[in-house]
Amino acid sequence: MSPVFFTIASRNYLAYARTLMQSVAARYPDAPRYLALADRGEDDPALADAPFDLVPVEALALPDFDAFAFRYDIVEFNTAIKPYAFAHLRRLHPDAGIVYLDPDVLVLEPLAAVEAAFADGALAVLTPHLVAPVDDDRHPGERAILASGTYNCGFVAIGAHADADRLIAWWADRLEFGCVNDPAAGLFTDQKWIDLVPGLFPDVRILRDEGYNVAYWNLSQRPVSQHGERWYAGERPLVFAHFSGVDVDRPAVFSRHQNRHTIATIGALRPLYEDWLARLAANGHAEQRRKPYAFATFADGETIGAPLRAVYRRYFDKGTAQPQLHPFAMDRTPYDLPCDELPARADAPVTRLMYAAWRQRADLHSAFDLGEREGREGFIRWFVRAAGREMGVAARHIDPVHRAFAAANGRDGGGAFAFDTRAGRHPAPGLVRRVGATCLSAIDWTCRHRVALALYRLIPAALRHRIRRTLERLAFAPPPEAAASQPVFAPQPDRPGINLVGYAHGEFGVAEILRSYAHTLERGGVPFVVRNYDIGVASRQHDRRMQRFLSDTLIHDINLFCINADQMPVAREHLGAGAFAGRYNIGCWFWELERFPQRWQGAFDLVDEVWVMSPFVRDAVAACTRKPVHIVPAALDVELPARYSRGDFGLDENNFVYLFSFDFNSYATRKNADGAIAAFRRAFADGRRDVRLVIKTINGQRMPRELRALVDAVADDDRIEVRDGFLDRAGMWALQACCDGYVSLHRSEGFGLGLAECMLLGKPVVATAYSGNLAFMDADNSCLVDYALVPVREGQYPAWQGQRWAEPDVDQAATYLRRLVDDPAYARRIGDNARRSVRQRLSVEASLAAISARLASIRERRERPAVVADAPDPGQPSVPPGLP
């Protein structure tokens, strides 16, 4: 008897279901085939003439249907109904084996091994994610598989066995309430429960055939090949491939749930993958994907976000202590009552919905300690600003919190604390979690000239990569006469402390961070030395404030490399293996785009953890590694000269002076001087003479064409001045102090040191509400400018392919610039708030506390006896049904 096949999909996945069942029909033309529709809309025209019979979701006899559909999001619901679909089909086909396949599967051969297992009396057939060890450090590794489940539930087969109904009933009972995606609670939708099945039930077959369920998590162990018309995985015929996590808008990524493969590295699987994408397109996925999910909103259109579903499960679902609330009830007031987990405070309200949002995000746990006032207030500001965009929380749940917090803290709910909570107006960086670009951009230090750049781009990408690595080795290798003078590093350092390795004399942002850490360590009494590293620097290095800390020997047991990830392999070659051996190595890295470059992956091999300055950089880095990534702020401390005045800089005392500063080495397109110029001109289009914009740059001499273009762009407006050249540290602080405001319409920042420094000086700052500057900027202490995300174009930034950044709203920026000039009270309020908040967030005390906490954790870990395995990372990104 032929098996019965079924899949589950909502309407947005109908093209997937059709593609799957067409492939099943080609191998089993007479087999019963079903789609369990996890949605409403069984009259959808797309279901006409489908290669399957439809099972409406109401036919599955789900217990308390409305509650069931409400407690789960679309992914959880699609997986939770799986055993109920098995039960329904068992009633229709009691004597047949039943096979479930995810809709993103493509069947290429008859499932002969499954049919044989059924014939041999198997109760169930399962396929493990892995049948061989994982030997690299890419994701997913073995710990990720442990967190998500041993067996992949994109395929489950249950035979006509005496215990089939008992197994299905047990699974259905567990999934009625336990199908959430909550790794911290040990749950991953339907999948973790299946780990128990081989122990709880007899006659369960584990199918280790490499031809079954080939997907991104095992492809590196099962190379695909084609011989004639047949496909093979390893030495076995390829029975079905599982194209899990594919983003059809970015097919080159192959799967968004991993960083091991791209379309360029999947080998002989590529033609089959491209054929599957073509089938999806032919089955109308472009149209189907836009269809709404029936259980995603209330009747009035409000989105039912994940935090709201969590509150329902906690307070109002079956079995809870409180009276049940109808799931789709229009009265949502109970969601906004104070949460039970925290003491109620009128001046810092945390509602049930807010607490659920905080609990669901590991990054919010790290950023905001709700037991402390500062943590509560920071979380409230995040919730008001970002919960709508990032977590689907409706304005009706945000506005009351905003008003209550503003009123309790002496604000009127508008002005400096105003947030626009309309959909799409929350200025926060997306959390995003995807692999970096695969091609090399032009080598910054080699291809400064247009002709050289054009010739360089004629070279194939793979060859460019090899050329870059070779040139780096040649450029940065120490001369022979210097080799003998290289310091000797003890292989087992035993002195507790930190070796700061970086640009001790550099006059740019990364160097300033090293010096900030040094001053913080000195103030905190933490032993440290500074090892100067000046290789490959295309900028002036005249700062000598670190002289008294310099050492040629790394004497401590922890290294902190304040150099970016692309320079880590160069540092390894220059300093030698002894510099790293026996020490705990930390990288302090910056990056300005959403996705960390794929070609820098080797840097992770050289460090044990990474420190960053902002959540934006943390998210980009953490998406590419299982190693710890922590936000460890550097302290800002004003270093003004004893005497300074506007006259020192030729600035009129009666003008309102805006400052904008950047380094040409940091990519002028990213810094977006054109945006600042346009906003200034638009703000003061009437030609008023009491305003001025000073654009302070460095390294313009290295890029004379770009500098000339900038100077020419403002030549017709004598209110705007470009000043290129270096000031010493005290001189730059003085220039910032002499200005009245700062503007930065950047497209992206890893942190935004100049913005933070001006805020510390009490200056109102107008800046793009995107990227790393949101680590210290909010609508209470800054003039945040809305933006649209746009593609990064070729040549605008390294690893530009497939990346996005912000295009700020020039009109809104112009409005802020004019208001700060015309409304001194407003400018003063913003500046005062800026000074207070930056003093608190970027103080020596805050920096020292973060550093001390990390050092204590590191030393405890190093002194603790080894364990068999670490717990799964609760910050691991979640993935769709049936996937690790």
- Break the chain into its structural domains and give their ranges: 4-210, 306-417, 479-631, 646-842
Report the C-alpha gap between 219 and 261 in whole angstroms.
9
How many of the other CB atoms lie within 10 Å of CB of 30?
7
pLDDT of residue 410: 60
State pLDDT tens for residues 694-721.
999 998 877 888 998 999 999 999 999 9
Region 526-550 average pLDDT: 80
Q: Indicate the pLDDT class of residue 90, thresholds 50, 70 and 90.
A: very high
Per-residue pLDDT at 53 exceeds 90: yes
pLDDT band at 489 (very low <50, low <70, confident <90, very high): very low
Residue 187: name the closest of 338, 313, 280 by CA: 313
In the 8-state DSSP scheme, what is residue 579?
Answer: G
Distances (CA, A) of 734 to 203, 689, 847: 78, 24, 24
pLDDT in tens, 355-395: 999 988 877 876 788 887 778 888 998 899 889 888 889 98
Q: Is the pLDDT of residue 158 over 60?
A: yes
In this prediction, residue 538 carries a pLDDT of: 57
The yes-or-no verdict on residue 878 having pLDDT over 80 is no
DSSP H helical ranges for 248-372: 269-282, 285-288, 306-311, 352-360, 362-367
pLDDT of residue 880: 34
What is the C-alpha separation between 604 and 136, in angstroms, rounded? Answer: 12
**pLDDT score for 747:** 96
Q: At what angle do helices 824-841 and 810-822 cross, to 10 degrees?
A: 110
Domain 646-842 has CATH 3.40.50.2000: yes
42 contacts 22 by C-beta, under 8 angstroms: no
Q: Does residue 63 or residue 406 have the better pLDDT? A: 63
pLDDT at 453: 39
pLDDT at 361: 84
- Residue-level length of the chain: 884
Which of 16-20, 187-191, 369-373 shows the lowest per-residue confidence on average (mean pLDDT)?
A: 369-373
- By the 10 Å C-beta count (0-12 exposed, 13-18 middle, 19+ buried), 494 is classed as exposed
Architecture of domain 479-631: 3-Layer(aba) Sandwich (3.40)
E strand or H helix at 88: helix 82-92
Query: DSSP readout, 248-281?
Result: TT-GGGS-TT-SS--TTTSTTHHHHHHHHHHHHH
Provide the 3-class DSSP secondary structure of residue 827: helix
**What confidence tens digit (pLDDT) does each residue in 65-75 have?**
999 999 999 99
Q: Residue 444's pLDDT is what? A: 34
pLDDT tens digit string along 820-863? Answer: 999 999 999 999 999 999 999 999 999 999 999 999 888 887 76
Instruction: Tell me the two tokens of residue 59.
Output: 């036919």
Q: What is the pLDDT of residues 91-115, one digit of tens each?
A: 999 999 999 999 999 999 999 999 9
Collapsing DSSP to helix, strand or coil, 170 comes out as helix
pLDDT value at residue 837: 94
CA 395, CA 423: separation in Å to the nearest integer?
8
pLDDT value at position 365?
77
- Average pLDDT (263-275) is 94
What is the chain's mean pLDDT, rounded?
Answer: 85
Q: What is the pLDDT of residues 448-464, one digit of tens each?
A: 333 443 454 455 544 54
**Distance of alpha carbon 305 from alpha carbon 312, whole angstroms:** 11
pTM: 0.52
Q: In the chain, what percentage of residues exceed pLDDT 90? A: 62
User: In this predicted structure, what is the pLDDT of residue 460?
Assistant: 52
**pLDDT per position as a tens digit, 393-437:** 998 999 999 888 888 776 444 333 333 333 333 333 333 333 333
Of 150-154, 549-553, 636-640, 835-839, least confident by mean pLDDT is 636-640
113/103 Cα distance (integer angstroms): 21
Structure token pair of residue 740: 């009245």
Residue 127 in tokens: 């396929």
Written as six digits, the tokens of 229 are: 């018309």
Q: What is the pLDDT of residue 535?
A: 74
Q: Do domains 479-631 and 646-842 have the same CATH topology?
A: yes
Confidence of residue 539 (pLDDT cuts 50, 70, 90): low
Residues 594-630 pLDDT 10s: 999 988 888 999 999 999 999 999 999 999 999 999 9
Q: Which fold has domain 4-210?
A: Spore Coat Polysaccharide Biosynthesis Protein SpsA; Chain A (3.90.550)
Quick one: pLDDT band at residue 300, thresholds 50, 70, 90? Answer: confident
Q: What six digits make up the tokens of 605?
A: 């091999």
pLDDT at 432: 34
Q: Rounded to whole angstroms, what are the CA distances from 155 to 170, 177, 217, 527? A: 18, 22, 14, 56
344 CB neighbour count, 10 Å cutoff: 11
Please state, in angstroms and rounded to a whole number, the distance separating the CA atoms of residues 209 and 211.
5
CB atoms within 10 A of CB 541: 15
Give me 336's structure tokens: 């906004």
Dihedral angle sign, alpha carbons of residues 206, 210, 216, 220: positive
Residue with the bigger pLDDT between 493 and 227: it is: 227
Is the pLDDT score of 537 beyond 70? Answer: no
Q: Which of 18-32, 314-328, 547-561, 651-665 has the lowest mean pLDDT?
A: 314-328
Give the pair of three-digit tokens for residue 339. 């949460």
Query: In this structure, how many other beta carbons lie within 10 angstroms of the beta carbon of residue 644?
Result: 16
Distance between CA 287 and CA 280 in Å, rounded?
A: 11
Question: What single-letter amino acid sits at 341?
Answer: E
The answer on pLDDT for 36 being more than 50 is yes
* 288: CB partners within 8 A, 6+ apart: 11, 12, 13, 14, 15, 46
The span from the CA of 598 to the CA of 602, in Å, is: 9
Give pLDDT, residue 494.
53
Phi, psi of 595 (to 5 degrees): -120, 130
pLDDT at 88 (0 to 100)? 97
Quote the tokens at residue 715.
């030549």
